[in-house]
């Protein structure tokens, strides 16, 4: 049965792939004629970007990590679901799954869906087993690797027929049409390697900086590295670059809002992440026709086809340096991988196709 009223539920404060997914699909659902509501974190980036959007009912109740233990919080959510006559709720974070899932169950919401966007195992706890078996009706995963990880600690956590693979969608036409200019001016005769992501252990910028240090002694063409993002490791990573004498070769840009402008400043996109749920930034880079150098881990090989749209290697600085050197030296290789990368995004991850898969999941 086709639902009429959808609620996208994501209380995360910062902006990331999960928030982008909820934002984009909420707007797509609205434009497709669904009644759409969104539960977002108070003061979150998602709430700020949705504020004032026509046709979307925004609710920011200010839920904490233990909201599922707060009867008043659950009753407020239950009242909201009933008021909006929600047919299906799409939950994001583990804490959203708990509070939002339990409140939706109390409200009689027919379809309670948890979207898992990170390839990290689910704890095999009593509470999680109850939530997956008695509260959730479906699970959306954004990669086969995420599916594998979800079931890694308990293969019977959810029946296979209730798990739906829906890759992150990318609006190629809108991205192409967006007016933008390079964020950073190019220097004559210099190639630019770029990476973007939160400055955290997961994103592996430390290994990229180590790889840059190794490249200096390998007769590489002139290059520099742009690092976009902010996070808890910013001070540590800047200190690492200084200690290796890379202040002039590695530039930290901070949080970047115009990612098209960033990619226009780059010749090679490097993603040294140690794990990813999907890697939305890869789709952006590939749409821009950029060759990718990344690690052959987690879901990354599902997005970047090894040897076809990018060069993948084990999570090792020396191996990454070797692949970056190949790309720096070979203009034809960069061009070929970039062209094939864009074609892959259009064929597999274009947003119209991924939203159709979401609608199929809702009807199932």
Identify the residue whose tokens are 């950073």. Answer: 184
| CB-based contact 298:271 (threshold 8 Å) | no
Both structure tokens of 351: 């947003």
Residue with tokens 């060069």: 311
3-state class (DSSP) for residue 223: strand
pLDDT computed for residue 218 by the predictor: 87
CB 199 within 8 A of CB 238: no
**HSE (CB half, 13 Å, CA atoms) of 254?**
2
pLDDT by 10-residue block (mean), the chain, 364 residues:
88 90 96 97 96 96 93 97 98 96 98 92 94 97 92 93 95 94 93 96 97 91 96 97 95 95 98 89 96 95 96 98 98 98 95 95 94
Burial code (b: 16+ CB inside 10 Å, e: under 16) for 194-209 equals bbbbbbeeebbbbbbb
Q: Quick count: other Cβ atoms within 10 Å of Cβ 329?
A: 14
How far is Cα 103 from Cα 81, in angstroms, rounded to an integer? Answer: 8
The answer to whether 108 touches 136, Cβ cutoff 8 Å, is no
Q: Identify the pLDDT of residue 1.
A: 61
CA-to-CA separations, 338 to 113, 294, 304, 321, 345, in angstroms, rounded: 36, 14, 11, 19, 11
- Token code pair at residue 157: 């956590």
Report d(CA 311, CA 270) in Å as an integer.
Answer: 10
Please state at what angle helix 331-344 crosses helix 280-287, rounded to 10 degrees.
Answer: 120
Whole-angstrom Cα distance, residue 187 to residue 220?
16
Cα-based distances in Å from 261 to 120, 184, 202, 256 = 31, 8, 24, 9
Domains of the chain: 5-165 (3.40.50.2000), 175-349 (3.40.50.2000)
Q: How many CA atoms lie within 13 A of 1 on its CB side?
A: 7
Contact yes or no for 11/44 (Cβ under 8 A): yes
> Using CB atoms within 10 A of its CB, is residue 160 exposed (0-12), middle (13-18) or buried (19+)?
exposed
pLDDT of residue 93: 94
Q: Given strand 35-40, what is the order of strands in its sheet?
A: 56-59, 35-40, 5-10, 88-91, 111-116, 138-141, 163-165
Q: Which backbone phi and psi does 80 adopt, to 5 degrees? A: -65, -45
Question: So what's the pLDDT on residue 278?
Answer: 83
CA atoms of 61 and 78, how far apart (whole Å):
12
3-state secondary structure of 116: strand
């Amino acid at each position: 049965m086709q639902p009429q009223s959808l609620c996208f539920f994501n209380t995360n404060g910062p902006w990331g792939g999960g928030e982008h997914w909820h934002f984009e699909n909420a707007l797509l659902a609205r434009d497709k004629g669904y009644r759409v509501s969104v539960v977002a974190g108070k003061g979150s980036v998602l709430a700020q970007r949705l504020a004032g959007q026509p046709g979307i009912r925004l609710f920011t109740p200010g839920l904490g990590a233990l909201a599922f233990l707060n009867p008043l919080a659950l009753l407020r959510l239950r009242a909201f679901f009933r008021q909006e006559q929600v047919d299906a709720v799409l939950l994001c974070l583990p804490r959203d799954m708990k509070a939002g899932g339990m409140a939706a169950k109390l409200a009689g919401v027919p379809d309670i869906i948890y979207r898992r966007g990170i390839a990290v195992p689910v704890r095999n706890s009593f509470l999680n087993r109850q939530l997956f078996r008695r509260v959730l009706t479906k699970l959306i995963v954004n990669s086969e690797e995420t599916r594998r990880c979800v079931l890694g600690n308990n293969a019977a956590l959810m029946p296979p027929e209730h798990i739906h693979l829906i890759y992150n969608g990318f609006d190629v036409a809108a991205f192409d049409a967006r007016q933008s200019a390079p964020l950073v001016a190019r220097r004559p005769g210099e190639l630019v390697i770029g990476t973007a992501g939160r400055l955290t252990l997961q994103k592996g910028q430390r290994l990229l900086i180590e790889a840059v240090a190794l490249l200096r002694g390998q007769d590489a063409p002139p290059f520099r590295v742009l690092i976009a993002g902010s996070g808890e490791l910013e001070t540590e990573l800047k200190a690492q670059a200084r200690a290796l004498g890379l202040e002039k070769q590695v530039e930290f840009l901070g949080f970047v809002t115009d990612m098209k402008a960033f990619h226009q400043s780059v010749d090679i996109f490097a993603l040294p992440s140690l794990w990813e749920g999907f890697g939305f930034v890869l789709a952006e880079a590939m749409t821009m026709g950029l060759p990718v150098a990344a690690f052959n881990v987690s879901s990354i090989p599902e997005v970047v086809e090894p040897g076809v749209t990018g060069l993948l290697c084990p999570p090792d600085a020396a191996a990454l340096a070797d692949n970056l050197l190949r790309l720096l030296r070979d203009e034809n290789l960069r061009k070929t991988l970039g062209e094939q990368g864009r074609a892959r995004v259009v064929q597999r991850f274009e947003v119209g196709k991924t939203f159709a898969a979401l609608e199929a999941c809702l009807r199932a």
